[in-house]
Structure 1
Amino acid sequence: MAASIGSLLAEISDLENPIEELEVLKTALLAIPLNALGDTVRGQRLDVIFSLLNTNDSVQIELCVDILGRVLQALSPVHLVQNCRDELKSGLTHSDDSVKILALTQISRIVKHPEAVTEVLNNHDLLRGVIHCIEAEKISVGKEAIKALTPLSESKPGLDALFRSDLFKELKDVMATSDIVRYRIYELVVDLSSVSAISLGYCANSGFLSQLLGELTGDDVLVRATAIEMATSLAHSQHGRQYLAQQGIMDKISNMIIGADSDPFSSFYLPGLVKFFGNLAIMDSPQQVCESYPAFQNKVFEMALDPDPVMTGVALDTLGVLGSTVEGKQVLGKTGEKFKSVLLRMSQLASSGATELRVRCLEAISILLTLQTEQQTEDLLLLTESWFRLLSDQPIDMIRNISTQPFPELHCGALRIFTAIAHQPWGQKMMLSSPGFMEYVVDRSAGPTKEAKDAKFELVGALVGSSTAATILGSQHYLRLKTYLREGPYHVTAISIVDTEGAE
């Protein structure tokens, strides 16, 4: 096979129009398993294919990119940096974005390899080209460049190269290109900072982080919204949250929430502020966040009652985040009447809102009502039951009506609410007392889609898996549920056809 690959490459090198031969080569390469391809192509004249990238023929470029993508992936990062460095460097400045992405993808492999990256760090030409790809017009090229630079944060030599060498000036020069590129540099800095406290220290000392956080209170509301999104990403790591706290960013964002009431343009960035604290609550402590920054919780409730569907949607998602933990449920429960008003609004939205909001609302309700077996204390069971009963005078019927509507996402959302309460004794009692509900659970004709069948199967599994279900539901219902579970989600009952030919 190596001989045939070599002969194909030799043949291609002598042709003016090699499209057909490139197709043959591509097919031949795809026929070789990737783990065997490296030995096959090592030492072959790959420069032939690289040289064919110097054309305006898009078909030829596409074929060469496909071929090189396959071949280079089979070669080790060390081999690439030692034998293809100049070709990869040229690829970074190619007029076709697919060639740039090909080069960046392979450079990503190189910088992740402890031996190969050393050669790159000793010669910055390749990294300089990657940095300039951040300013590419096509966003996918910029994203790939960021991805190729991020692994440098995992070692001191890599961080030194980015922040304590001539490459630092390259970063600053590229950053000055435009607002869009500036935010790509911020994205890189946040990605680098997230790796470790050491890498965050480099980014902080560079001045990039303080510049990013300064944009939080800028005059341009769209810039402000982007900065908030970046700060939220930075808060995903514990050392990132510590840095933000040291810089007073939590207090600053809390004050921005308070000041949003008097800003006519706050709708552009307010959802981001709320998402910031929502993420913070789930990663740290819902109680601590809600008690330390009451403006956040108050704003979530206010947004849940807001007629603006964008604000309502963010509030619903945030309530789902808060209610996903026991501590979050307890925090919401302590607010008493405030949260009851929100639940009533959620009930209205789930029944008659716009479809997208209804789906998000059903998801939030199912999360709020979910309690794992080990979480089922008397207080928490009373809390989830009280929330469910607030949804309607007949909440089982209300959710069941939603499940019968001809929208698969609503059907599955309603079933997930039933699954949430199926784990809890009070939920099982309410299901049993609702006429026809247990028949509905084992009715396979309701919900013809795969997603619906899976959701129904999960509901049945929740009931069968509960330690109280057999006692509460009774043996007849319980056995039918076990049979349903044993038969699986896609069981179809066979219908026997009686042959009546010849009958009178």
Structure 2
Amino acid sequence: MTASIESLLEEISTVEDPIEELQSLKTALLSIPVSALRDTVSGQRLDVIFSLLNSNEREQVELCVDILERVLMALSPVHLAQNYQAELQGGLSHPNENVKILALTQIGRMVEHPDAVTEILNNHGILCSVIQCIGEEKMAVAKQAIQSLCKLSHSKPGLDKLFQSDLLKTVKDVMAISDIVRYRVYELVVEISSVSPISLGYCANSSIISQMLGELTGDDVLIRATAIEMVTTLAHSQHGRQYLAQQGIMDKISNMIRGAETDPFSSLYLPGLVKFFGNLAIMDSPQQVCETYPAFQNKVFEMALDPDPAMIGVALDTLGLLGSTVEGKQVLQKTGEKFKTVLSRMSQLAGSGATELRVRSLDAISQLLTLQPEQQTEDLLALTESWFHVLSNQPMDMIRNISTQPFPELHCGALHIFTAIASQPWGQRLMIATPGFMEFILDRSTGQTKEAKDAKFELVGSLVSSSAAAQILGSQHYLQLKTYLREGPYYVSAVASVSTEGAD
């Protein structure tokens, strides 16, 4: 096989129109496992294939990319760094995006390897070209460049090279190309910053992060909205949150929420501000965040009652997020009637409205009502029970009506609410007291999609795993539920299948 690849490479170098020969080489390479390919090709020079990339013939270029992709992946990053740096750097300025992506992918492999990265760190030109690729029109090329630079920054020498050499000037020059490219650089810097406090220190010293934070209060509301997304990502790490707090960003965002009332364009960035605090509350402490920044909690309640679907959607997601923790439930409960008004609104939205908002309402309600077995104290059980009864005069019927509608996502959303209350004794008492409810749970003919069957199975599992269920539901129902669980979510009884065949 080595001989045939060698002879094919030789043949390709002698013909004028090598499409057929390239196709044969591609086929030959695909027939060899990658593991065996390394020994076959490591001694070969691929100059002829690289030189054929310099063509206006798209088919020829694509075949060369396919061949190089296969061969280069078989070679070690060190072998690539020692033999193909110039060719890969040439690929970075090629007009074809697939050639650029090929080169960036291989450079990404090299910068990840402890021995190969040393070679790349000494090649200023190749790193410059990678940075310039962030400014490429094609997003796929820019993303690959960002990925390679992120990998480079996982080591101290890489961070030094990127932020403490004149490569930083190249980064800043690229940022000046356009708003879109500037935000790609912010994305890169935020990703690097998230790795460790040390990498955040490098990014902060480069002044790029402070420039990004300055965009939060800029005149362009669309840029402001994008900046908030970046800052939210930065807040995912603890050291990122500490840095933002030191820079006074939490206070700044809280003030922006307050000031949004007088800004006619606030609907463009307000959802982002609320999401920021929602994420912060879950990562730190719902009580601390809601008490320190009351503007956030007030705004969430306000948005839940807003007529604008975009505002309502974010409010629902945020309430679900807050209410998914015990501390968040207690914070919401403390607001008394305010939260009950919001809960009633959520119930109305779940019952009627645009399907997407109905689904998000059902999801938020199920998160608010969920309690893990170890969380089921007397107080918290009383809290979830009281919230359930705020939903409607007949909440069991209301949720069951939603579950019988012909939309799988609504059907599953309603079942998730029943699953949330199924592990709580008061929920089980309501189920057994609701005429026909146990029959509804055990009826396999409702909800025929895989998602619906899985959701029903989860509900049955929630009931069976509760220590109080056998006593509350009675032994007959409990045994039927255990049988359902044992048979699995997709069980079809023999009688049902026979009658179906007859109907056909």
**Which range, TM-score by smaller chain?**
over 0.9
Paired residue secondary structure (1:195): coil
Residue matched to 1:502: none
State the one-letter code of the partner of 2:297. Answer: Q
Residue matched to 1:98: 98
Residue matched to 1:138: 138
Residue matched to 2:491: 491
Paired residue secondary structure (1:65): helix
Residue matched to 2:162: 162
Residue matched to 2:454: 454
Paired residue secondary structure (1:447): coil
Deviation at 1:34, TM superposition (A): 2.7
State the one-letter code of the partner of 1:267. Answer: S
- 1:33 matched to 2:48? The reply is no
Residue matched to 1:233: 233
Structure 1 contact 174–181 (Cα < 8 Å) conserved: yes
Deviation at 1:41, TM superposition (A): 2.2
**1:31-80 Cα distance to aligned partner (Å, 9 max, x none):** 33333332232222322322222222223322322232222222211111
Give the Cα–Cα distance (whole angstroms) in 2 for the partners of residues 393 and 498 of structure 1.
42
Give the Cα–Cα distance (whole angstroms) in 1 for the partners of residues 135 and 14 of structure 2.
37
Deviation at 1:497, TM superposition (A): 9.2
Decide whether aligned partners of structure 1 residues 11 and 428 sit closer, same or farther in structure 2, where only a CA change above 3 A counts: farther
Give the Cα–Cα distance (whole angstroms) in 1 for the partners of residues 43 and 457 of structure 2.
56
Structure 1 contact 432–473 (Cα < 8 Å) conserved: yes
Residue matched to 2:244: 244
- 1:50 matched to 2:50? The reply is yes
Q: How does 1:12-91 map to 2 (within 5 A)?
A: 12-91=12-91
Percent of pairs with identical residues:
77
After TM superposition, the structure 1 stretch with the greater mean CA deviation from structure 2, 164-173 or 20-29, is: 20-29
**Aligned CA-pair RMSD:** 1.6
**1:296-324 Cα distance to aligned partner (Å, 9 max, x none):** 00000000010000000000111111111
Give the Cα–Cα distance (whole angstroms) in 1 for the partners of residues 388 and 85 of structure 2.
63
Paired residue secondary structure (1:67): helix
Number of aligned positions between the proteins: 499
Deviation at 1:326, TM superposition (A): 0.9
State the one-letter code of the partner of 2:494. Answer: A
Structure 1 contact 6–45 (Cα < 8 Å) conserved: no
- 1:330 matched to 2:330? The reply is yes
Residue matched to 1:397: 397
**1:220-274 Cα distance to aligned partner (Å, 9 max, x none):** 1111111111111111111111110000000000000000000001011101100
Structure 1 contact 423–466 (Cα < 8 Å) conserved: yes
- 1:474 matched to 2:465? The reply is no
Give the Cα–Cα distance (whole angstroms) in 1 for the partners of residues 282 and 77 of structure 2.
39
Structure 1 contact 290–297 (Cα < 8 Å) conserved: yes
Q: How does 1:389-468 map to 2 (within 5 A)?
A: 389-468=389-468
After TM superposition, the structure 1 stretch with the greater mean CA deviation from structure 2, 250-259 or 385-394, is: 385-394
After TM superposition, the structure 1 stretch with the greater mean CA deviation from structure 2, 21-30 or 258-267, is: 21-30
Give the Cα–Cα distance (whole angstroms) in 2 for the partners of residues 264 and 477 of structure 1.
57
Deviation at 1:498, TM superposition (A): 9.1
**1:121-142 Cα distance to aligned partner (Å, 9 max, x none):** 1121111110000000111211
Paired residue secondary structure (1:134): helix
State the one-letter code of the partner of 1:269. Answer: Y
Residue matched to 1:219: 219
Decide whether aligned partners of structure 1 residues 127 and 496 sit closer, same or farther in structure 2, where only a CA change above 3 A counts: closer
Give the Cα–Cα distance (whole angstroms) in 2 for the partners of residues 367 and 29 of structure 1.
53
Deviation at 1:467, TM superposition (A): 1.2
Decide whether aligned partners of structure 1 residues 314 and 496 sit closer, same or farther in structure 2, where only a CA change above 3 A counts: closer
Give the Cα–Cα distance (whole angstroms) in 1 for the partners of residues 126 and 90 of structure 2.
9
Give the Cα–Cα distance (whole angstroms) in 2 for the partners of residues 27 and 332 of structure 1.
64
Residue matched to 1:272: 272
TM-score, normalization by structure 2? 0.96
Q: How does 1:358-397 map to 2 (within 5 A)?
A: 358-397=358-397
Structure 1 contact 396–434 (Cα < 8 Å) conserved: yes
Deviation at 1:4, TM superposition (A): 2.9
Decide whether aligned partners of structure 1 residues 40 and 397 sit closer, same or farther in structure 2, where only a CA change above 3 A counts: farther
**1:59-116 Cα distance to aligned partner (Å, 9 max, x none):** 3322322232222222211111111211211111111111111111111111111111
Deviation at 1:175, TM superposition (A): 1.0
- 1:255 matched to 2:255? The reply is yes
Paired residue secondary structure (1:264): coil
Give the Cα–Cα distance (whole angstroms) in 1 for the partners of residues 361 and 152 of structure 2.
42
Give the Cα–Cα distance (whole angstroms) in 1 for the partners of residues 460 and 18 of structure 2.
61
Give the Cα–Cα distance (whole angstroms) in 2 for the partners of residues 352 and 208 of structure 1.
47
Deviation at 1:496, TM superposition (A): 8.3
Give the Cα–Cα distance (whole angstroms) in 2 for the partners of residues 397 and 23 of structure 1.
66
Decide whether aligned partners of structure 1 residues 100 and 391 sit closer, same or farther in structure 2, where only a CA change above 3 A counts: same
- 1:343 matched to 2:343? The reply is yes
Structure 1 contact 153–195 (Cα < 8 Å) conserved: no
**1:309-354 Cα distance to aligned partner (Å, 9 max, x none):** 0000000111111111111111111111111011100001101010
Structure 1 contact 175–185 (Cα < 8 Å) conserved: yes
Unaligned runs of at least 5 residues, structure 2: 500-504
After TM superposition, the structure 1 stretch with the greater mean CA deviation from structure 2, 393-402 or 32-41, is: 32-41
Give the Cα–Cα distance (whole angstroms) in 2 for the partners of residues 309 and 259 of structure 1.
21
Give the Cα–Cα distance (whole angstroms) in 2 for the partners of residues 213 and 255 of structure 1.
14
**1:413-447 Cα distance to aligned partner (Å, 9 max, x none):** 11111111111111111111111111111111111
Deviation at 1:12, TM superposition (A): 2.9
